[in-house]
Amino acid sequence: MSEKKQPGVWEGFKAFLMRGNVIDLAVAVVIGAAFTNIVNSVVKGIINPLVGAIGTQNLDGYSSCLKPPCTGTGDTATGIRIMWGSVLGATLSFVITAAVVYFLMVLPTSKFLARQAARQKAKEGAQEIVEVSELEVLKEIRDALLAQRGSGNSRN
């Protein structure tokens, strides 16, 4: 009986790393980390000042007191606070990130791929028309040759 040799851990790891989606994921993580700095700068430089026109510029300062007395900040704070300002800031960062990724990356890429697919489909359609017309011409030649043979044999 022949025994199948199980691949070793190292071979499995190499196969895992060489899959295309792992490399794509690694690139996405690196780009995402770099992109985070841009989004954070937009939030701190544009969104927070706009919010600051209404209230305070630092969203982390917004909170509600759940159990009084709520005094002090940091380690000296008393009471129980709900820090909804930091949640709002994180939500704004997420929405801005999602919007920028969608409008600057996903939407243009999907439009480009749709145009490429339409061009490819048009090429294939034109190729089919050429092939069909060539086939029709060949059939006509065949029929003409058969008609010639038939008329040539009847004359003799």
Task: Output the DSSP codes for 11-56.
Answer: HHHHHHHHSHHHHHHHHHHHHHHHHHHHHHHHIIIIIHHHHHHHS-
Name residue, tokens 């040759």.
Answer: 145
Omega of the bond leading into 49 within 30 degrees of 0 (cis): no
Q: Domains in the chain, ordered, with CATH?
A: 9-119 (1.10.1200.120)
Q: What is Dmax (Cα atoms) for the chain?
A: 121
CA–CA separation, 16 and 25 (whole Å) = 12
Confidence of residue 130 (pLDDT cuts 50, 70, 90): low
Does the pLDDT of residue 39 top 70, yes or no? yes
Grouping H, G, I as helix, E, B as strand and the rest as coil, residue 79 is: coil
% of the chain exceeding 90 in pLDDT = 3
- Give the C-alpha distances (Å, rounded to integers) separating 57 from 29, 65, 69, 141: 30, 20, 25, 83
What tens digit of pLDDT does each residue of 96-125 get?
Answer: 778 877 887 788 888 999 999 888 888 887
What tens digit of pLDDT does each residue of 42-56 get?
Answer: 777 877 677 677 766
pTM of this prediction?
A: 0.48
Confidence of residue 17 (pLDDT cuts 50, 70, 90): confident
